[in-house]
Structure 1
């Protein structure tokens, strides 16, 4: 069974990530304000990225991974795809790591 992972840009500039078996119907449902509580109060929405998978569990796994990304990482991804976020996780860890002056 085919599955899709998708990313929507909401009217407030945030990104929503989901997965589905029927992309066109799901995006239309979001656009009508019925897709999720998150997107229903952030209309209009725009489909900014999607990927097709052979199996829905693969789409769901990517959805869960992308949901853990920061807004900045999602934005970078929409601008340049996977190349734009290559090594991003290492950078994020480095930025969160407290700076300790040398003794």
Structure 2
């Protein structure tokens, strides 16, 4: 199991992007090819700095939403704890 991911990317401009996927490698590749989110398209390259694994989509999407509500400082603390 465990094929649902929430993740945080660090963009070229040091901003952070939070997302959800079922295939982490493929999604990061898409972001770096400019086929991911509009936000990351102009901030390439991106690198994975944090991720969590979930057994179901619902839990992963709830966590993604919660992570998106965090301040930058709290996201950085989460990454550091990682």
**Structure 1 and Structure 2 fold alike (TM over 0.5):** yes
Find the structure with the greater CA-based Rg.
1
Look up the match of 1:10.
Answer: 11
- Unaligned ranges ≥5, structure 1: 82-103
Q: Residues of 1 paired with 2:25 and 2:57: CA distance?
A: 15
Q: Which runs of 4+ in 1 moved over 3 A?
A: none
Choose between structure 1 and 2: higher strand proportion. Answer: 2
TM-score normalized with structure 1 length: 0.74
* TM-score, with length taken from structure 2: 0.91
Cα deviation for residue 30 of structure 1 reads 0.5
Q: How much has 1:80 moved relative to structure 2? A: 1.8
> How many equivalent residue pairs?
81
Greater RCO between the two (CA within 8 Å, min separation 6)? 2
Structure 2: stretches of 5+ with no match in the other structure:
none
CA distance in 2, matches of 1:20, 1:56: 9
In 1, the alpha carbon distance for the partners of 2:71 and 2:42 equals: 21
Equivalent in the alignment of 1:87: none
